[in-house]
Every structure is written in structure tokens, then in C-alpha cells.
Amino acid sequence: MAGVKGKSGGARKGAGRKKKEPVKIEGIETTDPKRFLLGVMNNQSLDARLRIDAAKALLPYLYQRKSETGKKEEQQESAKKATLGRFAAFPPPSLKIVEND
């Protein structure tokens, strides 16, 4: 009812998406996300899909990607390795202070 005070605009009761029930897992009570995901992944009584999702979410915590650097950093690193070989620059001379008596 447009124009009626208290009836127009705002949230409607029962409107919107229904909230999902939280996943309750027996035997796993922790505030640490890494330990929680490990517990979910290792729990044999849970659904396989849930365990696989936990394993996927846990991967970045346990393993690093092989190449975390960008292209420029890789080029600089390979250039350093190349200059350490036969054609490497000579180190600068060491300067010693000599006192004459």
C-alpha cells in the first residue's frame, strides 16, 4: 500500500534468500581455520564432497605454488645465475690502509 505509513518501503517479512543451516561437525571444535579444515578433511564419517572441498581450501596453507614470483623477478634471477659462470665480473680490489712509520 503506497503512501500508508509503516507499510511502504523497507524489508518485508519472509523476503529474500533463505539462510542456510550452519554445518555442524561432531568432534571438531576449534577457532583455528587450518585445524578445522584438517579435521574436516580427515573425518571419515563426513560426505566425500565436503572433505574434498576442505582439502582444496587447505592447499594454500600447506603448499606454496611453484612460481610465486613474477616475470621480472624470474628474469633477474636467471640473469644473476648466468653471470656467475665463466663470464662473471671480477670482484673489486680490496683496499687496505698501510701506515708508514
Domain boundaries, the chain: 33-66
Interatomic CA distance for residues 75 and 72, integer angstroms: 5
pLDDT in tens, 40-72: 999 998 899 999 999 999 998 888 776 666 788
Interatomic CA distance for residues 37 and 57, integer angstroms: 8
Interatomic CA distance for residues 40 and 52, integer angstroms: 9
pLDDT band of 24, cuts 50, 70, 90: low
User: What pTM was estimated for this model as a whole?
Assistant: 0.43
> What per-residue confidence (pLDDT) applies to 2?
60
First-to-final CA distance of the chain: 107
Interatomic CA distance for residues 68 and 74, integer angstroms: 10
| pLDDT winner (highest mean) among 2-6, 35-39, 84-88 | 35-39
